[in-house]
Structure 1
């Protein structure tokens, strides 16, 4: 006894400690991930807010206004500087040999020599003087320093003079903020200045090859407001002048309260977003362990940031991405460019919930096919429909739970071992008086009920001796057998009828019947079961029927429905009979729907075509015991009869309900008229649950 109590106590304490500790550790992991999500998302929103504010201020200051006026006038003057045939050929050669070749290597495809040459004379002139000379690709890669630091072309044009005056101002903006590019546009959509003198210099975003770009739309939006306070931010899109690299643009009008002279457009680099989300690629120091990350997804379900695993282990990333369904050519492209922006699709539950405007946490499969804990939320940045997801592999996140469990099991086993050894030692002391009873017990077991044992000392063992003298072991055994039989009989009786009815029957009542008001009755019939079991043996047939009935019983337990009796091809149940329920109609319909699901699973597992035809009615019923020698608990009354009749109103499988049931159903249940039947009160419509 002492050993048993000690062992049980130790186990109970261990179980309680395990449950409490496990839940605490799991909650801590989720809370930490949620905190990281909020920190990274908040930082991203602050960074973008700062960029947007900075662009607005930069576009309104005097330097930008003066630069816009000077560059606009210089661009207009350059319209009178047409290229010679030799210069035109040289510009086309630049595109063929330099830009188009680099673009094809980066993005694929082929491009005509004149595809990106501006239509305007001024645009062609500026591209010849600056783009073809500064925007070069030694070794196939753009020389950013050469492009940004390019000096005066020495052509003596007003545009070169304006550029020489204001280029340093824009260059300082790029150096201070880390922008990829800065453009100045006039009021007609001409790019009158580009910091890197790329192929967008001199282009017209309203009519040129970039007229359908996000940059062009952002320009139209801000210029349409006619307000210097306007601001537009584009989502990522591939930008050809940057060799098809994804680009974000922030655009704001340039001018003052009196007039607007153009617009300032700033290209935001991918690194700004990645640095915020990765903490400069210090995931582990940010609390994300070995597998965690925070990533951004757009409304098109494509990533707007770079996957951590692609950065740390491209080979492992490629294997997991392909295994999870990402096309292999797309994965090869991601590995080649070293990024997943506008490439990797993410259609996880977390992304879907966040796109619905929800924030929360979940455990689900991630975009690489591994089980993740995720914390998701929409991102609040003007102009961008993004969501943020912080994730970490469940295996890593719950590793402390596994360690805790292992240590707890070891500790509990050690305690159990110590208690067992101590109990054995104490047992040697405590059981000495008991051994004196051993011979007497064996003699009583042999039928000698006159045996007596010395009373001994006046302690517990003395009391035990006195008790033994007053009781024979054979009588105890008989009593135990009688009690066991009584319990078994009572258990069997409860399987045949409800506990309250069984008690009345045990108390001696012979006629037991009870009227119940407001009870829903379900009569379910199996269609096609005999055809399915026609080729089966009797044992297999009853095994399949029992499998279905077990599913029905489990459905009844889940929905709070009382089983009345089971037939070979049917099932009678009620809701609100034993336990009155105000929602008995809803439970009855849910139960019938559950039966349909059970049958569908049965059909799928056994390649069967069994169908359900169920009738549901509500009203007054009578329950009670039928018969004397062979007792049966049954249910009868108008509601039972009506449930039996409505199920076969049109002969098709389905769930059919009476008018009374239909009247009490909630709007969420879709029902249609199935026919009419005649009742004692007249004709009644029968409804079918879809």
Structure 2
């Protein structure tokens, strides 16, 4: 019987440890994998919306400018002026000076970019007007290359320069306002770029006969020249553009129409930098929740990158080594090094990019472009004119690092548990013979939840003492369980008063170092004006009661609106909306909270017959939130969004609500705001602000 008992106990213990460990491991792995995929999908969708919104905004601005009287008149008059210069011809010495300038300034840069020296004739302009205008606005421009656009009048007395002095300041301001890399007008008849803002070497060249006739800008102009539709937009994907030093450039064009006829094409030159900043989150991957190896990137239909890789920006030596080990060609690596960017040069042909470019969204574990397993979420972008895929990924090793630690811990704990079970079984097999059934029955009743059970004490030996101890233990545990349950309820309520419920749940689950990034929330700071003077005239008890009554009413309003109170410091009150659970209308809720706070302060001051006003500042944007402290927890926020909200409050007007541009842009159709203009903000300089009218 002793041998059977020992064998049975050991087998039962081993099976229990193995089943529990395996079940816990696989369930934890599945839950973690799902959480990672959900996070990657959310990040991808957010960045996709940002990129799509950027292109929709550019399209709307370009359509509006193409139909403006300024652009229509400028197109008509510049065409005539350029034709006059063409008919007048160009002196040979001027042509020679332009050619010498190209040989000295353009050919060396193209040699570095292409890796070979190109022929000078491949880049010289064609026609009289290009030589004449490039000489006066590029060769003889007194400004450096990046500031050529500051020249309004070349002073050569030509009709073109007279028109340029009129229209160029307006066009330059429009390009800067909208955010175009360059801003051009093309003549659909001759294909000439009869006007550009930045005055690169494509200025006045012919897109039909000149050196850039096979570029994407030539394609965009050719398409829009045939469409007499004010709503038409012609978008050409990013390619390397020689006039911009080989940088990745896309072109968006719109026809300029007068009396139903296309008289010109308005072209916006789009730099890859804006899109790269959106996709990479201004290269703040950790703040965006991508950890140490996660990132998002764009891929075009040619499977070439449309945004930079994280490894390229963070550690180029490892980046090129990974590309080499993953099978990238020497030509591809050399091109990335030569151009200084992986955009249009790094090939990313994976299962994720192939699926996304075919229009399919999905998630899964794939081999990434670095040749290592990654967890990825992929999908296409809805941008008319281009076929792009967006992939968000993180290395599998990083994603499953917690599972690897769990597996190691389970093995250690399981081994120890098996040793304990074997030792206990050996002892029990020798010691428990007589009253063991009674004790076993009592244990079973106790394990089933009968905490008032007891077993009879039939002997005075060790087994009898064990039975007596068991009965005492059951009674004691029952009493302690009651106490523990009461304390747990009290601790639960106390924890929920300190932390938001989702954060408290994570903390109870054993999570340490809780810190999350939120892409869009709204933060408010409120401060009592005149409270310091008031407290000097009131007893301390009255001051505390007055402030407690006011902040309690604030808390009730925050609870009604789904707003999270962060903390109070003296007479200051800080709250946030949009975390830890995101909400779509966080800005609207926070502004309504601010209005309530102002009204509550007025009522509270009247009820206590004191002079008291509230000043509130509101700002929207990304933040980092987390729990700090060990002995006294606090859930707090960090980031520029928080700092600017505080500055909005400190620089605000008593008895009012002051907001930043992000809040104003979201709510200008729902509330009435008065612009304050640009106010001085510590650490930020001049910042635009609006005051809510209510």
The aligned residue for residue 12 of structure 1 is: 19
- Check conservation: 2:350, 2:368, Cα contact below 8 A: yes
2: distance between equivalents of 1:200 and 1:392?
Answer: 42
Q: Residue 58 of structure 1 is aligned with which of 65, 68, 92?
A: 65
Aligned to 1:321: 323
SS at match of 1:286: coil
How far did 1:396 drift? 0.8
* Aligned: 1:162 with 2:163: yes
The equivalent position to 2:195 in structure 1, one of 188, 193, 196, is 193
Name 1:563's counterpart in structure 2.
none
Deviations 1:521-551 (A, max 9, x none): xxxxxxxxxxxxxxxxxxxxxxxxxxxxxxx
Q: CA distance change for structure 1 residues 46 and 202 in 2, over 3 Å: closer, same or farther?
A: same
8 A contact 1:26–1:401 mirrored in 2: no
1:426 deviation in Å?
A: 4.1
Which deviates further from its counterpart, 8-17 or 381-390? Answer: 8-17
Task: With the length of structure 2 as denominator, give the TM-score of the two structures.
Answer: 0.59
CA distance in structure 1 between the partners assigned to 2:395 and 2:158 by the alignment: 61
Counterpart pick for 2:289 among 287, 292, 297: 287
SS in 1 for 2:226: helix
Q: Size of the alignment, in residue pairs?
A: 431
Contact 2:9 2:422 in 1 (8 A): no
Cα deviations by residue, 1:123-179 (Å, 9 ceiling, x for unpaired): 22111111223498xxxxxx4432222342111112112111121222223323432
> How far apart are the structure 2 equivalents of 1:15 and 1:94?
74
Which residue does the alignment assign to 1:403?
Answer: 405
The DSSP-based 3-state class of the residue aligned with 1:288 is: coil
Which of these residues, 247, 250, 260, is aligned with residue 249 of structure 2? 247
The alpha-carbon distance between structure 1 residues 162 and 23, as it changes in their structure 2 partners (threshold 3 A), is same
Q: CA deviation at 1:347?
A: 1.7
Shift of 1:317: 0.9
The match for 1:183 is 184
Whether 1:68 aligns to 2:75 is: yes
For the residues of structure 1 that align with 2:329 and 2:10, how far apart are their CA atoms?
A: 63
Out of 29, 42, 55, the position equivalent to 1:35 is 42
**Residue 333 of structure 1: SS of its match in structure 2?**
helix
- Residue 423 of structure 1: CA displacement? 4.4
Look up the SS of the partner of 1:340 in the other structure.
coil
8 Å CA contact 1:37, 1:388 repeated in 2: yes
Task: Please give the alpha-carbon distance, in whole angstroms, between the structure 1 residues aligned to 2:406 and 2:258.
Answer: 65
Deviation digits for residues 276-297 of structure 1 (CA, Å, limit 9, x no counterpart): 1100001111121111121122
1:370 & 1:278 partners in 2: Cα distance?
A: 20
Judging changes above 3 Å, is the alpha-carbon distance between structure 1 residues 13 and 128 closer, same or farther for their aligned structure 2 residues? Answer: same
C-alpha displacement of 1:83? 2.2
CA distance in 2, matches of 1:41, 1:12: 43
How do residues 235-634 of structure 1 correspond to structure 2 at under 5 angstroms? 235-256=237-258, 258-431=260-433
d(CA) in 2 for partners of 1:9, 1:118: 82
Structure 2 match to 1:92:
99
- Give SS of 1:377's match: strand
* Deviation for aligned residue 1:116: 3.0
Contact 1:183-1:194 within 8 A present in 2 as well: yes
> Which aligned pairs between 1:96-115 and structure 2 lie closer than 5 A?
96-115=103-122
**Deviations 1:325-380 (CA, angstroms, capped at 9, x unpaired):** 21224313313433111111122121222222211122121112111112221221
CA distance in 2, matches of 1:19, 1:114: 67
Deviations 1:426-474 (A, max 9, x none): 445304899xxxxxxxxxxxxxxxxxxxxx99xxx9xxxxxxxxxxxxx
Q: 2:151 maps to what in 1?
A: 150
Distance, in Å, in 2 between the alignment partners of 1:336 and 1:108 is 8
2: distance between equivalents of 1:50 and 1:71?
A: 27
Shift in CA distance, 428/353, structure 1 to aligned 2, threshold 3 Å: same
Task: Write out per-residue CA displacement over residues 614-646 of structure 1, whole angstroms, 9 at most, x where no aligned residue.
Answer: xxxxxxxxxxxxxxxxxxxxxxxxxxxxxxxxx
- Describe how 1:203-218 pairs up with structure 2 within 5 A: 203-218=205-220
Contact 1:193 1:201 in 2 (8 A): yes
Partners of 1:81 and 1:121 within 8 A in 2: yes
Determine the C-alpha separation between the residues in 2 that align with 1:370 and 1:14: 28
The answer as to whether partners of 1:135 and 1:196 remain within 8 angstroms in 2 is no
Conserved 8 A contact 1:135-1:146? no
Q: Tell me the distance in 1 between the aligned counterparts of 2:312 and 2:337.
A: 7
Partner Cα separation in structure 2 for residue 279 and residue 334 of structure 1 = 21
Q: CA, structure 1 residues 102+9, in 2 after alignment: closer, same or farther (shift >3 Å)?
A: closer
Partner SS for 1:295: strand
Say whether 1:24 aligns with 2:31.
Answer: yes
Distance in 2 of aligned mates of 1:102 and 1:236:
20
**1:195 positional shift:** 1.0
8 A Cα contact 2:29 2:403, kept in partner = yes
Q: In structure 1, what is the Cα distance between the partners aligned to 2:39 and 2:435?
A: 61
CA contact (8 A) 1:178 1:269 kept: no
Cα 1:214–1:337 change in 2 (3 A) is closer
**Secondary structure at 1:408's aligned position in 2?**
helix
In 2, the alpha carbon distance for the partners of 1:21 and 1:98 equals: 62
Unmatched 5+ stretches in structure 2 = 1-7, 437-457, 464-694
For the 8 Å contact 1:222–1:251, the answer to whether it is kept is yes
- 1:665-688 superposed Cα distances (whole Å, 9 cap, x missing partner): xxxxxxxxxxxxxxxxxxxxxxxx
Contact 1:314–1:335, Cα closer than 8 Å, also in 2: no
